[in-house]
Structure 1
Amino acid sequence: MANWLNNAIFYEIYPQSFKDSNADGIGDFQGIISALEYIRDLGCNAIWINPCFDSSFYDAGYDVRDYYTVAARYGSNEDLAALFERAHELGMHVLLDLVPGHTAIDNPWFKESCKDERNAWTDRYIWRPLSQSPDLNSPYASIRGFLGGIAERPDAAAVNCFSTQACLNYGFGTVTEDWQFAADSPEAQAGRLLIQDIMDFWLGLGCDGFRVDMAASLVKEDSDHHWTSKLWRQVREHLDERYPQAVLVSEWGNPHEALHAGFDMDFLLHFGPSHYLDLFRENPYFSASANGDIRAFADTYRKMLADTAGGGYICIPSGNHDMIRMRDTLTPDEMKLAFTFLLTMPGCPFIYYGDEIGMRYAHGLRSKEGGYERTGSRTPMQWDCSTNAGFSAARRENLYLPVDGAADAPNVASQEEDADSLLHAVRALNTLRMAHPALQADGDIEFLHAQDHAYPLVYARTTGRAGGADSRERIVVAINPSSSEARCALPAAYGGAIGATEDDVLFHIGAIAGVREGELRVPAGSATVFRCR
């Protein structure tokens, strides 16, 4: 596993909405380059860029036409290589978003596969004979449906999500029809080799790794993901031989499976068993107005850590391009508490662009490039109070999406001037994480108290044992999002060690928690990070 991950803090960039350098209304690579120092100064030392390859943009880049060429709207391959180079100069790493499960239906590979005469691409996609049945619905849980009437060949193509996204062929874990290829067949293995070739190309240009879209879905009808996991382990073996510091992050939603499949990290997401939504979105624990409960999350997280110990990291994001923004369910002050949690947990945290200033979800927008309800989370970054919030010098009607036009719309420049802003809190937390190994990815965690809103969330972070007992560091985090003081008993090992001196308070939001009369008392709406003696 790449050694740079232990202190990595990631920043997710939706490229078309981040920074426009040429006044066409769409963000681009030169715009990202101009903002790299802002991201570095925020405290993030790694970036994930959403899909930027040549695309039909029916699904905002998750429908690739050419994996070896960037979309012209963002610039050129040379521009992206320059972005890699500048990021490295600033001590940062860059992950690209790889979509291996499907391509656009106007991808040249798919057009070749549509032909009636056999060629190199005939079996690179999943096809079912139309003669078997005219019904294009799918009886398979792993295939969304079939697309007919699009090819010379008398077959229908399987699709993953939208009808514009044809499934590449990685085989079937369970073969039940004569048109299905086994997962270990040469035809299916050719797909894995293609993934490796695409990765080699971009790693050779300076990319540091990939976030992999729908990573668990490649092999169809593979209920226990046995064959999909084997495929990714083979990819990891290839990378270990050629690019051992390359990082793979999976959109899997099950760290136990993903990390054993060769990924370095897996996200906790809005799907899967993690109870991630309990944190920030559905009856969120970090909202004073809700009645949230963090027990299910903590119990599941403990098990996930035990299952993945030593195998890689669990990533907790503030949000992403597929979720309603955190600001829709939390106030800026509540977001400070949420970020205290996010940035003091193990694994690698991910900050979705704009969450550090509390950008709002835009309700009521028309769908853009397949965004539908996700569109409101993809609006332009708000940099300042100038035209189009500093995102672009284009006419307003030419913007990729409208900016938040409210008088109180948050922006970077205004929050830079406000020492009590969310931006300053996030920056301070990132600085704190970088300064203390116990708070970084490898540090251990012990939940001392994790229940419902009547009690605070309290946990201890400790450095790993590799450095020896004398070099170990122990830090306690106490958070209370409720509107009244919360109390809890602590194990004897911690009760006398918390807050012994003012210097032991490393960070706080609101009033400082402390031990009184044998109890840890955490004021309402507060977060305190202590060094333990």
Structure 2
Amino acid sequence: MTVVQRPWWKDGVVYQIYPASFKDSNGDGIGDLNGIISELDYIRSIGIDVIWICPMYDSPQVDMGYDIRDYQDVYAPYGTLQDMERLISETHDRGMRIILDLVVNHTSDQHKWFQESRSSKDNPKRDWYIWRPARYIDGERKPPNNWVGNFTGSVWQWDDHTQEYYLHLFCPEQPDLNWENAETRQEIYKSAMEFWLERGVDGFRVDTVNMYSKGQMLDAPVTDPSSEWQFAGYQYCNGPRMTEFLSEMNAVLEKYDAMTVGECPNTPDMKRVLQYVSAKEKQLNMVFQFDVVDVGQGPYKFQTTPRNWTLPQFKRAIARTQDLIRLPSDGWTTVFLENHDQSRSITRFTSDAPEHRVAGGKMLALMMAALSGTLFIYQGQEIGMTNFPESWDMSEYKDVDSTNYYKMVAQRTKDDPAALAAAKASLQHLARDHSRVPISWSTAPNNGFSPSDSIAVPWMRPLEDANVCNAKQQQSDKNSVLAFWKRILKVRKEWNDLLVHGEYDDLDTEHPDLFCFSKTWKGKKAVAVCNFTDEVQKLEFPSTVRDAKKELLVSSVDDNTEGGLRAWEGRIYLLA
């Protein structure tokens, strides 16, 4: 019998690194590539197979490196091209793989391509970006449509020099590339992909992967009457030529056996998602669906109140992403709760109270390890880092998404104190800034992020709780969040077929406090049960598995636990 070899990326555990906040090796207050290299053994010790490096390219850093000035060079404070080549080599030497962020929906406005494009209307690169004439309403100049940008305001920026608007779905300093132009696409593949694949990179996390084909760019429906600019995610995502563009991209990647995981927002139609990740369609290996991390967000993300979600909503979101691999599907899926665009999962989905944060971190680790698909962990998640405290004022928020939102509320409400307090409360819960504070490595000055003799202040304020949450202490503490992550990842690998590839079924979607789901693989079955409350809960199994003989495989609290589920406890049982 022929054994079909599974692609390497299906069984891998990926660790995401945000370079600025990982580790500062030279004392300038900014994390760097040599800092990453210095902790590769730590990363491998967790049970990691793949590291993903957020943008480390040359950039003006308007949007933390997602505004790229040169795809073939490195942002100087992070290091050099030679440092990057050494990181690739040192990662491979430890038996791990490395993927990079591929940001090719847009560039920086300082990229040489855009500098040429905006120089004149007849420049050969004019059509490499998306330019449109103004429209005039009652004699007043207006942008070509009413789309709102991802960071508030219009997606169109007027260019005085050539008297036209250019499109930027994100910051004005991030003009969108014109994927309709075949010459542009070929240069993207060459300079942003093949340049790094030739240097040994094993694949890419593909930023905003479903935005390349913009469609007709008509006005979006009015969903916010108080604003001139309207949500247009369903207009500019998943356009008519996406299949063609991704197939072209995949043809390049296939030559290198490189993996892709695409960022896929604004795609509620799961049939469309399945088309992206279907093996026979040859577009992407997998995508990040945002169903789970969007739970509790408002229509405009921050327009909500903290903990504005229910456990049944959370479970239904998980089911949508897990069902991507339900047979006869030939697709694949991902498991994640944190990344550089999310706040910390312990704060959002459990409790960051001192008496609960460790239990919450372990329970979420168990839940994630029991879900099917490629597992992604974000730096600091493995030690149970939480959001920064409410006592920090707005000066600690550095992210353009956060500061733009706060300014917008101030402007719309004429600095109404109640509105600003509500805005800060939502940011304290959901802002991207929380995942971007430096990692707490130890109780040394600046939490060990910078060398002990450094006099530079870290670019973001380190957390104040390193005395109870730091990597050095947790490496020798068998009861720590880190120790449990190491243990549960071993369990996941030992029961790989069942936990990574098994079919998921939610056994009691409407239960308000317990999350109970089964995993099935060729007659084998496991059941996971998680207590999403801060109180002891009676252990009740749904009728479909109630009478089955159960063997406790692992508990996030104590393997020998019997009786009720303790606060924020998770367990996995094998069914006979």
Shorter-chain TM-score: which interval? 0.7 to 0.9
How far off its partner does 1:216 sit?
Answer: 1.1
Aligned equivalents of 2:78 and 2:547: distance in 1? 54
Q: Does 1:366 align with 2:381?
A: no
Q: Does 1:214 align with 2:223?
A: no
How far off its partner does 1:489 sit?
Answer: 4.3
Q: What secondary structure sits across from 1:424 in the alignment?
A: helix
Partner deviation per Cα, 1:356-375 (whole Å, 9 max, x = no partner): 11222224343436353422
1:30-179 aligned at under 5 Å gives the runs 30-116=34-120, 118-130=122-134, 135-139=141-145, 141=147, 144-151=154-161, 153-171=162-180
Report what 2:428 is aligned to. Answer: none
**Distance change (3 Å), C-alpha of 1:402 and 1:274:** closer
Aligned equivalents of 2:171 and 2:142: distance in 1? 14
Q: Does 1:354 align with 2:413?
A: no
1:282-297 aligned at under 5 Å gives the runs 283=307, 293-297=313-317
Report what 1:204 is aligned to. Answer: 198
Aligned equivalents of 1:432 and 1:486: distance in 2? 25
Pick one of 501, 505, 522 that aligns with 2:553.
505
Q: What secondary structure sits across from 1:410 in the alignment?
A: coil
Contact 2:274 2:324 in 1 (8 A): no
Aligned equivalents of 1:258 and 1:54: distance in 2? 32
1:232-311 aligned at under 5 Å gives the runs 232-240=246-254, 242-243=255-256, 245-253=257-265, 254=267, 256-261=271-276, 262-269=283-290, 273=291, 276-277=294-295, 283=307, 293-301=313-321, 303-306=323-326, 309-311=329-331
Q: What secondary structure sits across from 1:68 in the alignment?
A: strand
Contact 1:58 1:369 in 2 (8 A): no
How far off its partner does 1:29 sit?
Answer: 1.0
Aligned equivalents of 1:492 and 1:118: distance in 2? 69
Aligned equivalents of 2:307 and 2:61: distance in 1? 34
How far off its partner does 1:432 sit?
Answer: 1.0
How far off its partner does 1:7 sit?
Answer: 1.6
Contact 1:136 1:145 in 2 (8 A): no
Partner deviation per Cα, 1:58-99 (whole Å, 9 max, x = no partner): 110010000111111111122111111111121211111111
Pick one of 503, 522, 526 that aligns with 2:569.
526
RMSD: 2.9
Report what 2:517 is aligned to. Answer: 459
Contact 2:262 2:287 in 1 (8 A): yes
Contact 2:106 2:175 in 1 (8 A): yes
Q: What secondary structure sits across from 1:382 in the alignment?
A: coil
Aligned equivalents of 2:67 and 2:328: distance in 1? 32
Report what 1:417 is aligned to. Answer: 476
When the two structures are superposed, what TM-score results if normalisation uses the length of structure 1? Answer: 0.83
How far off its partner does 1:259 sit?
Answer: 4.8
**Distance change (3 Å), C-alpha of 1:477 and 1:512:** farther
Contact 1:449 1:459 in 2 (8 A): yes
Contiguous gaps of at least 5 residues in structure 2: 217-234, 277-282, 298-304, 403-430
Q: Which amino acid aligns with 2:446?
A: N
Q: What secondary structure sits across from 2:437 in the alignment?
A: coil
Report what 1:325 is aligned to. Answer: 344
Q: What secondary structure sits across from 1:226 in the alignment?
A: coil
Contact 1:141 1:221 in 2 (8 A): no
How far off its partner does 1:202 sit?
Answer: 0.4
How far off its partner does 1:350 sit?
Answer: 1.2
**Distance change (3 Å), C-alpha of 1:101 and 1:310:** same
Aligned equivalents of 1:523 and 1:16: distance in 2? 38
How far off its partner does 1:355 sit?
Answer: 1.3
Report what 2:532 is aligned to. Answer: 481
Q: Which amino acid aligns with 1:28?
A: D
Contact 1:17 1:26 in 2 (8 A): yes
Deviates more, 1:292-301 or 1:404-413: 292-301
Aligned equivalents of 1:2 and 1:192: distance in 2? 31
**Distance change (3 Å), C-alpha of 1:44 and 1:247:** same
Contact 2:363 2:569 in 1 (8 A): yes
Q: Does 1:29 align with 2:50?
A: no
How far off its partner does 1:27 sit?
Answer: 0.9
Aligned equivalents of 1:489 and 1:212: distance in 2? 40
Q: Which amino acid aligns with 2:365?
A: F
Partner deviation per Cα, 1:135-193 (whole Å, 9 max, x = no partner): 35451548742222353x3322221211111111123xxxxxxxxxxxxxxxx222322
Aligned equivalents of 2:198 and 2:462: distance in 1? 36
**Distance change (3 Å), C-alpha of 1:274 and 1:381:** closer
Aligned equivalents of 1:334 and 1:170: distance in 2? 44
Residue-pair matches, total: 488
Report what 1:336 is aligned to. Answer: 362
Contact 2:101 2:207 in 1 (8 A): yes
1:393-412 aligned at under 5 Å gives the runs 393=451, 395=454, 397-406=456-465, 408=467, 410-412=469-471
When the two structures are superposed, what TM-score results if normalisation uses the length of structure 2? Answer: 0.77
**Distance change (3 Å), C-alpha of 1:446 and 1:38:** same
**Distance change (3 Å), C-alpha of 1:69 and 1:299:** closer
How far off its partner does 1:41 sit?
Answer: 0.6
Report what 2:492 is aligned to. Answer: 433
**Distance change (3 Å), C-alpha of 1:425 and 1:385:** same
